[in-house]
Structure 1
């Protein structure tokens, strides 16, 4: 025998269903309108180029920017930067590690016992990158031979084949941090202090000069390299604004990359 329900029970059931749908719909739209800041607490960087998109943490972005700046100072081609990135991705995931196999350490896992430098020196990404490039340029035809072969000639790793799978990501990073692709680096970090600390613009420029040498902008590509470096180091130096060539980066989680407009022209990078 089938159970029978009164009209009152059916009406109540319909009302409950309608209310549930209405509440769910309302919550959906409320969450859509809630700033991402409510759920995003960790700083991050996004690299967007025609080659693809990568998400980095600030340390990875800072090291990527440093490698590109050192390469520019040494007037090396983008291929050298790609090889360096692929090597660092395999060796340390682009992190400045204080440990490694035996006495290996740093971004490229270089060993003091093998003559790369002291522990203190190798923990400086600028020094470590310079040492890597100094050896890379000695490799015959490094621009033309397979990436893994070039990296292995420098690193002399037990598994030189492992560098090759990182070539795609390395090309994305190189396109962005060398400045070849403008407005490719966007970072965000939470403001944890009230009032917010003052931007350390002088310290940022000094550190950039350490890696890049002259900070004179001779080409737009060099300008975008400097702008990308500044955005990558924004959290470290409390920067909230970077402007270059009519575009502006702001430390705003709601911003989707760089915004049009800004006082900075093609001859200087504005920091604030």
Structure 2
């Protein structure tokens, strides 16, 4: 089973009221937050790199698709923060690998499988769902029953940060997660092709989603419920660079790539029942 790995050697930056994991500051004063993703929940601030945020949003999104409560995402995030600092590690203790430091020799899957964040996350939740009463267990206890770590108390160190991230990324704390990412470069892909590409990208994580093209060329992703809408919106922000997204709008709020202001009030382009993408 997964074991605790040695501390990850990453630079750490400033954070207020929470923890910064692997933040690398840039030399330009105006762009010092470029590449950072920030979560603000109940007075706690957690700052991640864009790579960590992509993994955190995936762990949370998969719990949403599986119909699990936010407690599941908290357990998953606390575990991944402890085991890998939310990086898809290529090594660890003995043959431990990936976000959760799962060991192929212990039946978690092949090396290629456990290095796939989507596979690893589903494998973690498969194991969690076999733990009796996991829904009401303390985060540390539930994580340990899955991981069988030699350092079970270590998960508690990340519980508050994991709870804040889970609340934001599963959609229960609206507009609480944002990133400062570069604006997309290059010529825009035709909307119909973008819509199909987005459907393919979201399907493994959220399941089948409806993506339509508006008269203005914007894409609209059906949200279903408000929490699911914010979960989708947060995931799209975290993956904006890989999905070539310049703007995400939802419920009269909008996030814009290239801006460090997070979610701002928007008078248009943020339909109440869909996440709108430019």
> Does residue 1:155 correspond to 2:161, yes or no?
no
CA contact (8 A) 1:41 1:190 kept: no
Name the residue aligned to 1:173: 165
Counterpart among 193, 196, 201 of residue 186 in structure 2 = 196
> Does residue 1:209 correspond to 2:203, yes or no?
yes
CA distance in 1, matches of 2:67, 2:89: 27
Report the RMSD for the aligned CA atoms in angstroms: 2.0
Name the residue aligned to 1:130: 122
CA distance in 2, matches of 1:260, 1:92: 37
> Does residue 1:251 correspond to 2:241, yes or no?
no
Structure number with larger C-alpha Rg: 1
Distance 1:37 1:235, change over 3 A: farther
TM superposition shift of 1:255: 2.3
List structure 1 runs of 4+ shifted beyond 6 angstroms.
Answer: none
Deviates more, 1:120-129 or 1:195-204: 195-204
CA contact (8 A) 2:41 2:168 kept: yes
Deviates more, 1:87-96 or 1:237-246: 237-246
CA contact (8 A) 1:78 1:178 kept: yes
CA distance in 2, matches of 1:55, 1:163: 18
Name the residue aligned to 1:67: 59
Q: List runs of 5+ in structure 2 lacking aligned partners.
A: 1-27, 210-221
Q: List runs of 5+ in structure 1 lacking aligned partners.
A: 1-35
CA distance in 1, matches of 2:68, 2:33: 37
Distance 1:41 1:49, change over 3 A: closer
Name the residue aligned to 2:41: 49
CA contact (8 A) 2:181 2:257 kept: yes
Which of the two has greater strand per residue? 2
CA distance in 2, matches of 1:211, 1:39: 31
Counterpart among 247, 269, 272 of residue 241 in structure 1 = 247
Which of the two has greater helix per residue? 1
TM superposition shift of 1:261: 2.6
Name the residue aligned to 2:230: 224
- TM-score, with length taken from structure 1: 0.80
TM superposition shift of 1:254: 4.4
Distance 1:232 1:201, change over 3 A: farther
Counterpart among 94, 118, 127 of residue 102 in structure 1 = 94
CA distance in 2, matches of 1:261, 1:85: 34
CA distance in 2, matches of 1:244, 1:132: 30
Q: Deviations over 1:54-76 (max 9, x none)?
A: 11111111111111111111111
CA distance in 2, matches of 1:243, 1:37: 28
Aligned length: 235
Distance 1:148 1:117, change over 3 A: same
CA distance in 2, matches of 1:254, 1:91: 30
